[in-house]
Copies of this chain bind each other. A is one copy, B any other.
Amino acid sequence: MATSPIWTSRPKTRGLVLDLIRSARTITRIELAEATGLTGATISEVVRELMGDGLVVEAGRGAPTGGKPRTLVQLNPLARFSVGVQLERNTCVIVVVDLAGRQVARTSFHGVASMPPERALPLVAAQVEALLATAAVDRDKVLGVGLVSYGPQDRRVGVLLTPQPTDEWLDHPVARRLSESLGMPVLLDNDAAAAAIGEYWMGAVDPRSTYGCIYMATGIGGGVVVAGEVYRGSSSNSVEIGHISIDVNGDECPCGNIGCLENYAGPSALVRQALATPGLAQRLALDPAEADFLSEFARIAAAANAGDPAARSLVEGSARYLGSAAVTMASLFDLDTIVLAGPSFAVAGSIYQAVIQQEVDRRTFARRAHPVRVVPSVNGSDAAAIGGAVLVLQSELTLGHPRQEAPRPVPAS
């Protein structure tokens, strides 16, 4: 400790070193010193501490580079685990990931979020327990649970500030209740922000990238990641792209805004448009009374893929609306990459990708400075749940501890 009185108490340094080891897979202490600008003595001290905690192990010797070959270090991926829970109107997805962010177990089920939280959360807790047991993961090695869901949220207190999935969830202390049920820490976060950080940990995006994620499930959300960290803003309620206005003359949305993207481009809007398109509803056997509009949306997307002109025209229209919002996001955040994530891109993702890329190429303000690439998610439909688990790893290990935000007054409405 004598050689580095400042750093050893600073979790940020420890986190930086751990994140470099993680992303490099194997690395020498010399390379760590070069990458961080820290002294060799400090690196040795931090690595010793990480090895003492079992998070890092030595892994043979690197290639000789003139002098004597250096010892490689690497993560011990099975040293810690975390759980990600995505709570959505239709589906709840639970994953367990190891320290390297690799998925070791997964389950999903329907219907839980249509119950009031007093009934739903104990069921979620039971599923988490069952999944950890199935995967034979030692509970002592589980850092906690990342619960990801709708925004806006009070992330600090662990409360949803929206009457979603149902009215009873508004202001319910979801993080505390799930934490009490499970006896482990629970971090609440936005599902789209989680999906965005998941992409980075899965290696889909360059670590120096400034990228955005458009997340489409029943609704449309977004997240932006700058140099490996979620862009938070003043209260972690950033990048709500589904509720930005794309039409100043549009209709009022239940959220209070006018002409919101989600009402033009989201799955329920597409189902509505398809039901109003002569012939299409009959051809695809769409049921106006079907409560699970995602299954109807998937049928439209599949028909578009198969070449049905009316279905294709609707999906391309949705993609152009998303493209308009993607241009706004790219011109405001100056993004170099946009990732399309979430289950509603699963079927017709290639149509969405092509159209959104075209809009971004034509319309983004800084296109003379650099291109903006539109790419599909590497995580598929589980991006948000995996990201929730990754946020726990990042919060506990690489960022030191969950970000403290100043308490804020909550206005009446």
State which of A60-68, A103-111, A235-243 sits at the interface with chain B. A235-243
Q: What is the distance, in angstroms, from A385's C-beta to the closest C-beta of chain B?
A: 23
Check B153–A237 contact: CB distance below 8 A. Answer: no
Q: Does A70 contact B (CB under 8 A)?
A: no
Contact with B along A376-391 (1 / 0, CB 8 A): 0000000000000000
Copies in the complex: 2
Enumerate A78-109 residues with CB–CB distance to B below 8 Å.
none
Q: Which of B3, B41, B151, B328 contacts A366 (CB 8 A)?
A: B151
Q: Please give the distance in Å from A128's CB to the nearest CB on chain B.
A: 27
Contact A237-B366, Cβ < 8 Å, known A39-B6, A247-B248, A327-B245: yes
Most chain B CB atoms below 10 A, which of A42, A162, A235, A329: A235
**In A341-392, which residues have CB < 8 Å from any B CB?**
362-371
A35 / chain B contacts, CB cutoff of 8 Å: none
- Which A residues fall within an 8 A CB radius of B? 3-7, 10, 37-39, 41-42, 151-154, 161-162, 208-210, 222, 226, 231-241, 243-249, 255-259, 264, 321, 324, 327-329, 331-336, 362-371, 406, 408-411, 413
Would you mind naming 6 contact pairs between A and B with Cβ atoms under 8 Å apart? A6-B39, A161-B369, A233-B333, A234-B334, A256-B367, A257-B364
> Lowest 5 A-B CB distances belong to which pairs?
A233-B334, A237-B366, A238-B334, A210-B234, A234-B336
